[in-house]
Structure 1
Amino acid sequence: MEFINIALSNLPVTPENNQQPSEGMQTGLDLKEKLSEKMKMAVEHDFFAGIYYLQGKYGHTYRELSTSRNLLQQIYREILEYYIDGTWVLLESAAPIILRTQDAKSKHFLQLGFRDLESSRLFHQRGSNIGKKLYTNQINFYKQGIKRVRRARKYGVLAILESRTPVEEKKEYQYVSYDEVRNPSITEDVKEYDRVLNKMIGLISRQLVDATIQSSTRGYPLELDLIEMHQDNFGAIIPDHPHLLNRFLSEVETAKFHERQKLPDRSRPSR
Structure 2
Amino acid sequence: MLSLQKILLLHVLACLGQLAHGSDIIDGEKAPENSMQYMASVQNNNGHHVCGGFLITEDFVVSAAHCYNWTLTHVVLGNHNLKNGNHQKIKIENKTIPKNYIKVGLGNDIMLIKLLEKVQLNDRVQTIQLPPAEINLQENQVCQVAGWGKTKTGDNKPADELMVVDVSVIDKQVCNELWGDLPDNVTCAGGYETTKGFCQGDSGGPLVCDGLAVGVVSFNYEKNCNYPDKPNVYTDISKYRQWIDKVVKSRKYEE
Q: Same fold (TM over 0.5)?
A: no
Larger Rg: 1
Q: TM-score, normalised by structure 1?
A: 0.23
